[in-house]
Amino acid sequence: METADRAVVLNTAQALKMKQKINVGLIGLGTVGTGTFRILTGNAESIRHRVGVPVEVVKVAVRDPKRDRGLSLPAGVLTTDPMDVVTDPSVDIVVELIGGYEPARSLLLEAIARGKHVVTANKALLAVHGIEIHAAARRAGVDVGFEGSVGGGIPVVKALKEALAANRILSIYGIINGTSNYILSKMTDEDRSFADVLAEAQQAGYAEADPTFDVGGIDTAHKLAILVNLAFGAGVDLKDIYTEGITAISPEDIDFGRDFGYKLKLLAIAKARGGKVEARVHPTMVPDEYPIAKVGGVYNAIQVVGDACGDIMLYGRGAGSLPTGSAVVADIMDISRSILMEPSRRLPAVTERAHLEVQPMDTITSIYYLRFTALDQPGVLSQISGILGRHNISIAQVIQRGRKEGGAVPLVVMTHTALERDIQKALVEVKSLASVREQPVLIRVEGGPE
């Protein structure tokens, strides 16, 4: 290293020694806010040791200051106006944990405009307004921490931003919605219906009263947008991400999948495809022996395949007060260290410059599980396989289960790799057959025979 650089560097280190404390302002004291506060106070001593100076919560905005959260908040810290946190000149880092688009977006932009670093776990906000927020932060020379936005306490953001930064990322497979994974795991283990398990999950507090965001795949798509941006260095429009939830999954298909050696998971999938990227969320069959197939209950897992590191899987608690708080505090600590050093030159991990083209869904290729309900009469299999063949769809395996002369029985097909567009066209034709009853079921399959 040149001597000139070193001299400047050491002088700076001296000059910066005047900063004796990092001041944090929290907006929101719900599940994640409470966890964040607990960690910052409970582990204050080891955090001080690792950062170099104390990290202290000096301002907290809540809607209802009278509510008992079981926390001992210092006097004068609470406010009901989030702008008090943003405008407080002593606050170095503004932590937004209220969720939703507004006022979260305006508060973060205002904090950034005032030269404050920000931390958020707000995946919906980042998926839709991430480019705007990152661009504003770059202009202002401040950091945006968002480790808590995907995978709770699992350090996937840091992995993609830093630890795997030497890699060209080839693909990402994520189980990143705990509610959906809990429901699918229960349906699989106990052979129960979606509605039945959902009702139980709602009672147990694992699913919201309105579960649409979770079971509809929307939350997963939000998180996938964030991961794609990190992995491929460019933004992606949420509307370009094909999104299909788990509401239509029947135990029958889970069961047939088992016969083929697959587990059913709601996967977020991203794959590099030349200059484009595949980005999609849908129920997916995964070979039993894949590590990601074994992720049960409310756990999350993200598999990343890089050209150098090969396949890496990160696994852990994808939500909750302390796990997500752990990620938020890790961001606060990283930013604290960068405040004590030099904040303007940070890794350009999230790029606002480029826009990433998502591969249209009808041009992806996959293996497909297809379940038809057909009359149990001669020639049906031949008709269906004829249609598939004419659409360039090659069959790997067929299961016909049960016999019911003149009645409708399931006919299940596992294909070789085929083009989505061909599959969709073939299904329209198959559906029009007189012998085929009900809407055919289509589930995409990852892994297995090509």
Sole binder of a copy of itself in the list 56, 110, 143, 147 (CB under 8 A) = 147
In degrees, rounded to 5, the angle at the alpha carbon of residue 437 between the alpha carbons of residues 432 and 443 is: 85
Residues of span 111-130 touching a copy of itself by CB under 8 A: 115-117
Residues of span 44-103 touching a copy of itself by CB under 8 A: 46-47, 49-52, 92
Q: How far is the CB of 353 from a copy of itself (least distance, A)?
A: 10
In degrees, rounded to 5, the angle at the alpha carbon of residue 430 between the alpha carbons of residues 425 and 431 is: 100
Residues of span 159-188 touching a copy of itself by CB under 8 A: 159, 162-168
Q: How far is the CB of 13 from a copy of itself (least distance, A)?
A: 5
Binding track, positions 227-246, relative to a copy of itself; x by CB under 8 A: ------x-------------
Q: How far apart are CA 384 and CA 230, in angstroms?
A: 43
Which of 158, 223, 263, 265 is an active site residue? Answer: 223
Sole binder of a copy of itself in the list 273, 294, 425, 431 (CB under 8 A) = 294
Helices (H), 205-304: 212-215, 218-232, 251-260
> How many C-beta atoms surround the C-beta of residue 216 within 10 A?
18
Residue 280 main-chain phi, psi, to 5 deg: -155, 155
CA-based radius of gyration for the chain: 25
Does 314 interact with a copy of itself (rule: CB under 8 A)? yes
Does 30 interact with a copy of itself (rule: CB under 8 A)? no
Sole binder of a copy of itself in the list 111, 224, 226, 327 (CB under 8 A) = 327
Give yes or no for a contact between 441 and 255, defined as CB atoms under 8 angstroms apart: no
Q: How far apart are CA 332 and CA 98, in angstroms?
A: 17
Query: In Å, what is the CA distance from 328 to each residue of 194, 302, 356, 386?
Result: 33, 19, 28, 55
In degrees, rounded to 5, the angle at the alpha carbon of residue 223 between the alpha carbons of residues 232 and 327 is: 100
Sole binder of a copy of itself in the list 73, 238, 333, 408 (CB under 8 A) = 333
> How many C-beta atoms surround the C-beta of residue 184 within 10 A?
25
Sole binder of a copy of itself in the list 208, 259, 307, 362 (CB under 8 A) = 307
Nearer to a copy of itself, 117 or 129 (CB): 117
Q: How far is the CB of 11 from a copy of itself (least distance, A)?
A: 8
Does 4 interact with a copy of itself (rule: CB under 8 A)? yes
Q: How far apart are CA 446 and CA 205, in angstroms?
A: 31
Residues of span 341-370 touching a copy of itself by CB under 8 A: 341-349
Residue 285's DSSP bridge partners are 264, 445
Compute CA 1 distance to the chain's CA centroid, rounded to the nearest angstrom: 40
Q: How far apart are CA 152 and CA 329, in angstroms?
A: 12
Residues of span 255-284 touching a copy of itself by CB under 8 A: none
Sole binder of a copy of itself in the list 28, 145, 153, 217 (CB under 8 A) = 153
**Region near a copy of itself per CB under 8 A, out of 58-66, 147-155, 200-208, 432-440:** 147-155
Does 13 interact with a copy of itself (rule: CB under 8 A)? yes
Q: How far is the CB of 279 from a copy of itself (least distance, A)?
A: 19
Nearer to a copy of itself, 71 or 199 (CB): 71
Report which residue type is found at 285: M
DSSP result, 63-84: S-TTS--S--PPTT-EES-HHH
Nearer to a copy of itself, 153 or 235 (CB): 153
Active-site residue flag, 223: yes
Residues of span 375-414 touching a copy of itself by CB under 8 A: none
Just list the catalytic residues. Answer: 223
